[in-house]
Chains A and B, each alone.
Chain A
């Protein structure tokens, strides 16, 4: 019974923790511009993250070491350094975008300019990263993020034309005046949002933080195969609500406030308050995850003591990296770049570094020295290779599409 409860709690946390600022922005923008014609990309992305997160969780549970640690050992310091540089840069910028999302959510309930909240959010992020236990942090924000289910409720309360939505989903082509370039750009952004690199760093390092062993493989798989797809449903609901309200008007969504408007129309003030709470929880939780991931990648590469399971004094350099990363994220926001624009850039950056993250996982997950007889089976390898091809295509197309469309035009 206790174990079932732990697994259920893990699944709920995974659902609520799945959505971050990248998912919110990419899905809302795509829904307004293309209806749900890009829903298939979310499905493809969710399957992809499931395939690789399962590998990362298994590697961590069996070897007792996180993926990044093994990447450096298995592929050498040079490959590891390239991996580190790309991943760290994107993760820190994503951290900035997440903190921007938190500040924007606070602006929606106070109408005070978001930049005034940035120092407060950065300080709060640092305090939580410093003081709060890993499990508590993960559970609180993951479970609070579940309130984004309000978008699913709103979808049923809006005058949704389900046959029209199905028509858009089953005819995945650019709608109206949109062109293939823009369609491709948003496909890349949605795919990158679902497969953001920090997710696997966090998942595998989190497994070590929680001291998973082979006994926890069931928990790992339940989180991945039930939690992530249900989290993907929240992303689809975000896309569908903007598709119902904004797409028929041919209005583009550009702010977090606009993303919540369909919920206000459908459910009124309480629904709106819940949606904003969901934004806050999702972005603050993701800020914690990206902050920790930044620390994990650096500390694991250099072989420093890391993790929140250690006291800060025992992992001082890890905590310094966390502080510096939070500071860099805040500085990025103080350039006055629009957090939504920053999110779009980080999604493109994520798309570019995807192969650096996922190829090493595939290699390590096939290494018998680490995994013994728990190495990838034929299905995991087939899917892993198939996704690697997709990832390479997405990484190659990301920057040309960004330039060609002016970041989605």
Chain B
């Protein structure tokens, strides 16, 4: 390999590295922010509905506790991960701030509600589990409305 080829390869590697560094640290544009918000809302909605279906299956005697526990854990993690990715982006204009103010309370509530379901399931507390799944569907509907507006 000649020196020029080596230099060219190095320049390409440095260029790609620099671009990746810039891309990962630059502030988000509106499109990127909206896409992350929509993904977080979708993940939260999915998590709530899956948790509802799974807890229903447990209450109806149609699923084993370890299975339910795993699926609920996965749902909780998925919502927390998506919420974390959204929270990591700082809004840089008013439109982004409006989205943040609309979505953040919904995500916080989703995390809380899923926590309630997980706790009730872990404690084997049937009345609490039945109570905890009641607000899931209305909250999922509010997230669906958010998705309709911004998706």
Contact = CB atoms under 8 A, between A and B. Distances in A.
Interface of A: 107-111, 177, 245, 249-252, 254-255, 257-258, 260-261, 264-265, 267-269, 272-273, 276, 409
Contacts of B53: 245, 261, 265
B111 interface: no
Interface in B40-66: 42, 45-46, 49-50, 53-54, 57, 61-66
A269 B74 contact: no
B49 A249 contact: yes
28 contacts: A107-B70, A108-B66, A111-B65, A111-B69, A111-B70, A111-B73, A177-B151, A251-B45, A252-B42, A252-B46, A254-B74, A254-B78, A255-B71, A257-B67, A257-B74, A260-B67, A261-B50, A261-B63, A264-B67, A265-B62, A267-B62, A268-B62, A269-B62, A269-B63, A272-B62, A272-B64, A272-B67, A273-B64
Contacts of B69: 111
Contact of B70 (A249, A252, A257, A264): A257
A257 B151 contact: no
B66 A264 contact: no
Given A251-B50, A257-B71, A257-B74, A264 B62 contact: yes
A199 B66 CA distance: 33
A251 B49 contact: yes
B74 A255 contact: yes
Contact of A269 (B39, B50, B54, B61): B61
A250 B141 CA distance: 11
Interface in B52-97: 53-54, 57, 61-67, 69-71, 73-74, 78
Contacts of A260: 67
A109 B66 contact: yes
Complex A-B, nearest 3 residue pairs according to Cβ-Cβ distance, in ascending order: A111-B66, A257-B71, A268-B62
A109 B69 CA distance: 10
Contacts of B54: 261
Nearest to A270: B62
Interface residues of B, number: 24
Contacts of B42: 252
Contacts of A254: 46, 74, 78
Given A111-B67, A255-B74, 9 more contacts: A109-B66, A109-B67, A250-B144, A254-B46, A264-B62, A264-B67, A268-B62, A272-B64, A276-B67
B63 A272 contact: yes
Given A109-B67, A252-B42, A276-B67, A268 B50 contact: no
Contacts of A273: 64
A359 to B, nearest CB: 31
Nearest to A272: B63
Of the listed residues A245, A249, A264, the one surrounded by the most CB atoms of chain B closer than 10 A to its CB is A264
Contacts of A110: 66
A252 B42 CA distance: 9
Contacts of B151: 177
A265 B57 contact: yes
Contacts of B63: 261, 264, 268-269, 272
A261 B46 contact: no
A249 to B, nearest CB: 5
A245 B151 CA distance: 23
A249 B49 CA distance: 8
Nearest to A276: B67
A97 to B, nearest CB: 17
A84 to B, nearest CB: 25
A251 B144 CA distance: 11
B49 to A, nearest CB: 5
Given A261-B54, A265-B62, A272-B64, A108 B70 contact: yes
A258 B62 contact: no
Of the listed residues B45, B61, B62, the one surrounded by the most CB atoms of chain A closer than 10 A to its CB is B62
A250 to B, nearest CB: 8
A276 B70 CA distance: 13
A250 B50 CA distance: 11
A258 B71 contact: yes
Contacts of A272: 62-64, 67
